[in-house]
Amino acid sequence: MNDPVLVVDAERTRDASPERPIVDVAVGVLIAPGGEFLLTSRPEGKVYAGYWEFPGGKLEAGETVEQALRRELIEEIGLTIGAALPWREKLVDYPHALVRLHFCKVHDWSGELQMHEGQAFAWERLPVRCSPVLPGTVPVLEWLMEEQVT
């Protein structure tokens, strides 16, 4: 199945060159034993600051998705993860960047949550109470809802 690109804020200008680079991002969908999942807010100073998302970050040169996710979660929220199970990918066209999100489910981690970038966090269930939700996060919430139904 070939998912269409999610275009965010289509009315805003963006670099339309065919060579527009894709930024690969590892994203952790941390799911607690009771079924709650972790959302964090985007810190001040970043694009879409205050929007809620699943934690993660950009892949650095030579990193795999799992390596990037491990590094980012330690750096951003102070957690060391166990297995990161590749789950889904989504291409999102934001005005500032073309982003390929690599979502991994994570059921095992250690450490205490530490919001190193001053962000907030919430353990959520569907429907989420956090608002606003980053557009690239919305498909994940839909996928989680589909899994509950089936």
The Cα 149–Cα 147 span in angstroms is 5
The Cα 144–Cα 37 span in angstroms is 10
pLDDT tier at 20, thresholds 50, 70, 90: confident
In the predicted model, what is the mean pLDDT of the chain? 94
**Percent of the chain topping pLDDT 70:** 97
Name the CATH superfamily housing domain 21-149. Answer: Nucleoside Triphosphate Pyrophosphohydrolase (3.90.79.10)
Sheet holding 121-124, edge to edge: 52-53, 37-41, 121-124
* Interval 95-121: pLDDT, tens: 999 999 999 999 999 999 999 999 999
Domain ranges of the chain: 21-149
CB distance 44 to 122 below 8 Å: no
* Interval 63-81: pLDDT, tens: 999 999 999 999 999 999 9
Q: CA neighbours within 13 Å on the CB side: how many for 24?
A: 12
